[in-house]
Structures are given as structure tokens and as C-alpha cells.
Homo-oligomer: A and B are copies of this chain.
Amino acid sequence: MLVKEKTDQAINILNQENIDCWLTFVRESAIMHDPNLDFLTETNVTWPSAFIITKGGEKVAIVGQMDRATIDDLGVYSPVLSYVQGIKEPLQTTLQRLQPRQIAINYSRDSEVGDGLTHGMYLLLMDYLREINLEQRVVSAERVVSRLRACKTRAELDRIKEAIDHTEDIFRLVKSFIKPGRTEREIADFMLAEVKKRGLEVAWEKDHCPAVFTGPETAEAHYRPTERQVEPGHVLNMDFGVKVKDYVSDLQRTFYIRSPGEETAPPEVVHGFQTIVTAIELARQALKPGIQGIEVDRIAREHVVSQGYEEFPHALGHQVGRFAHDGTALLGPAWEKYAQKPFEPLEPNMVFTLEPRLKVAGRGVVTIEDMVVVTEDGAEFFSTPQKELILI
């Protein structure tokens, strides 16, 4: 069971990081959902709730009385404490008993997945801790939760792989649907129907999953499919993924629409495509535990620029897990918006995308997004990498 597996992993990480206690403090999690809660329970909680994991191996849950039965059923927490009027007393009593030297809580300037505690809840928690003289013990849980999320267990990898397989299937199916005159919208609808037929959901918001861009005049990324029609001579690209048991895939593929009599794509499209394939392969070869994402990003970025293209206006790759953009460590440049993420050392069982892009003037955007998993001494493709332009 995932909650058991991930809370056990959390205990290991607390020991490696030498942190006594990890505290997740949430309320009405259907409204503001700390992304770390998904590793701690299978359902939302209603009233202020605390999930406490200790280095020594304790797992304590404190929840409102009417949420109790659901948490009991997990069979993971002992004790499960519950209350009617307020969490303050059971929370203070528990922390006074544990006397942790460090209380790691979910906030982070740099990492959204480490930043699940709202500012109001932070103020409330600090009030409670001050009353029992533990407020000085608070530290950020960023390292703990980033590693917990990033280093996938076998069960998590299997779910992602299943999502990848469905995505690749649907890319194969849509190939015979694409032809001149079809609109981006029609192509997306074809794919969404296939997702529905399989009883799945898409990996991110339905309005731009899949995202479909045909020809040279598109919004290029993060935009909904339009009524623009496929035309011969267009480069068409798609960004698409599905969700399987809460884990997702995130892949991009590039197609070329041949004109009548045209055997293959024109040289400038082929050159663009080969540049992307090579950038991805160079990046994959560089990936290994211990390296920083900024180094991997630089290798792909410099290759694209060396071939005469503008550098891509985003990171080379991000982690994938419960979200399409998941995790702290990033294969990205040292840009302000990426904060410290490109400097996090990589670890085994992290899953990344590799997704450089470039524009071919008058044709469209060439981009491939494949997924890789970091191994003990390198990285392997987790998706079946696109090595050939898909010719329509």
C-alpha cells in the first residue's frame, strides 16, 4: 500500500538527513491540498490535522473526530488521535512527549512541492509551538519531502510506466487521424475520446491536454487546441500525457505533413529534428546520480545553440510523478524563477523529462519530450524515445 511504503521511506530519509520529526499540518485539504498529503493518507481531511513521522519510526495522526474512521482504516498510524473542539491540546501533548530536536515542516521558497503549508497555518502552528517552547526547533522539510517525492518506489515507477504505455499507444493511433484539413481541436478530441475509452484521465488540465500546435503561427506551448487546420508543409507537435492511479506521463512528439509527391521532410526540418534528437541523447548520457541539473541542461542547450537556433525559453526537463511538473530538482538554467532547483544533486529513481525545442521558420516548432529514469550509475529511457520524424 502506497501510504505504508512512502511513510516507511520517509523514516529512512529522516535518518539519513538526521531530522527527528516531520510534521505535516493541514485543514480542509479538498480546498488547499498540501501535495505531500498524498503520501500520508488516501483521502482528504476536513479539520486541522497533523501527520507526524519520526526518525525513531513513529507515525502519529491527529484528526477531527469525524475523519477518524477513515484514517484508522489505513492501518498505518498509531496512535490515531482525534478531537471534537480543537487540535491544539492533542498536538501539543504529542510534541511534548516526542521532544524532537528538529520539527521539519512543509515550507520552501524554492520548491512548490515542498511548500504545502499555508502562511496562515504556519502562524497558527508557531503559536502552538511557542506555548510549549518548541518554536525554535522548526526547520524546513524541503530536503525530506523533495527526496520522498523524487525517489520513486517500484510501485510508483510501475504506475508511471503504465501511463507512458497508454500515451505512446494513443500517439500511434492518432497518426492515422492526422491529415490536411483536420483542425487542432479535432485531433485533440480524437485523443480525448481514446483516453475516455480507456477509463483514464489526462495528465493535466483537459483544455490543453493534449496541446496540439500545427504550423508556424501557433502559441507554441501551454495553449488550447484551436480551429487552425493542418496543412502540407506544417510541422505539428503535441504535448500529452495521461494519469494512471494518480501517476502521470508527459510526452511530446513531432510530426511532419508532407505535400503531394513529397517523400520526406525538407532539409531544414530534418536538421531541426536531428538537433533535438542529439540534444536529448547528449543529455541522457550526462545524467547520473550526483550531477546537478544545470550541467545537464547546459549540454542540451549549448548543442541547440551550436546548431544555429535560439535557446529554448524553459528548462530542459522536469520531474514527473503525481503531477506532470513534479519535484524539486530540475534540469534547468540558473534563472530566477527556478531558484535553487537546478543545483540539487540528482539521485537514483528520479524520473525526468527531456524536452528541448526549436523553431523552424515557416514550418513550426520541433520538439520531442521523452522521459528518463536515473539509475545507480546513469539514466535510461523510460519512454520509447522518438528518433524519427513521424511523417504524415
The prevalent SS among residues of A at the interface is loop
Determine whether A378 belongs to the interface, using a CB cutoff of 8 Å to chain B: no
Whether, in the assembled complex, A114 has its beta carbon less than 8 Å from a beta carbon of chain B, the answer is: yes
Which interface residue of A84, A117, A337 has the most chain B CB atoms within 10 A? A337
A26 to chain B, nearest CB (A): 9
A273 interface residue (CB < 8 Å to B): no
The distance in angstroms between the C-alpha atoms of A84 and B337, with both chains bound, is 8
Once the chains bind, are B120 and A118 in contact (CB under 8 Å)? no
CA distance A261 to B109 in the complex (A): 68
Interface stretch, picked from A16-24, A41-49, A161-169, A282-290, is A41-49
Q: Smallest distance from the beta carbon of A367 to chain B beta carbons, Å?
A: 12
Q: Known contacts A66-B221, A69-B219, A313-B84; decide if A120 and B109 are in contact (CB<8 Å).
A: yes
* Chain copies in the assembled complex: 2
* Nearest-Cβ distance from residue A207 to partner chain B, whole angstroms: 6
What is the bound-complex CA distance between A337 and B27, given in angstroms?
10
| Interface positions of A from 104 to 136, Cβ below 8 Å from B | 107-124
Interface 1/0 per residue, A87-107 and B, CB below 8 Å: 110000000000000000001
Known: A114-B120, A116-B32. A337 touches B66 (CB 8 A): no
Residues of B within 8 A of A70 (CB): 208, 222-224
A193 interfacial contact with B, CB 8 Å: no
Given known contacts A115-B119, A119-B119, A87 and B30 CB-to-CB distance under 8 angstroms = no
Q: Is A85 an interface residue (CB 8 A)?
A: yes
Residue of chain B at shortest CB distance from A325: B28
Once the chains bind, are A222 and B117 in contact (CB under 8 Å)? no
A115 touches B114 (CB 8 A): no
User: Which of B116, B208, B219, B224 has a CB less than 8 Å from the CB of A118?
Assistant: B116
Residues 1 to 39 of chain A near chain B (Cβ within 8 Å): 27-28, 30-35
Q: How far is the CA of A18 from the CA of B253 in the complex (A)?
A: 52
Q: Is the CB of B85 within 8 A of A335?
A: yes
Whether B115 pairs with A117 at a CB distance below 8 angstroms is no
A205: interface (CB < 8 Å): yes
**B107 contacts A65, C-beta separation under 8 Å:** no
Minimal Cβ-Cβ distance residue in B for A333? B85
* Chain B residues, CB < 8 A from A32: 32-35, 112, 115-116
With A70-B224, A313-B84, A337-B86 given, is the CB distance from A27 to B112 under 8 Å?
yes
A312 smallest CB distance to B (angstroms): 10
Interface residue A281 (Cβ < 8 Å from any Cβ of B):
no
Contact between A30 and B325, CB atoms less than 8 A apart? yes
**A262 interfacial by beta-carbon distance below 8 Å:** no
CB pair A117 B114 closer than 8 Å: no
A153 to B310, CA, bound (A): 47
A83 contact set on B, CB distance < 8 A = 337
Q: With an 8 A cutoff between CB atoms, is A336 at the interface?
A: yes
Looking at the complex, which one of B33, B109, B112, B205 makes contact with A123 (CB distance below 8 Å)?
B109
Task: Find chain B residues with CB under 8 A from A382 CB.
Answer: none
CA distance A44 to B206 in the complex (A): 11
* Bound CA–CA A89/B70 (angstroms): 47
Instruction: Report whether A222 and B119 are in contact in the complex, using a CB–CB cutoff of 8 Å.
Output: no
Indicate if the CB atoms of A313 and B66 lie closer than 8 Å.
yes
| A293 on the B face (CB < 8 A) | no
A314 on the B face (CB < 8 A): yes
Q: Can you sample 23 A-B contacts with CB below 8 Å? A: A28-B323, A31-B112, A31-B113, A32-B33, A33-B33, A43-B207, A46-B222, A48-B337, A65-B313, A66-B220, A66-B313, A69-B223, A70-B222, A70-B224, A85-B335, A87-B337, A107-B118, A107-B119, A107-B120, A110-B120, A115-B118, A116-B118, A117-B119
- Nearest 4 pairs between A and B by C-beta? A86-B336, A115-B120, A107-B119, A69-B219
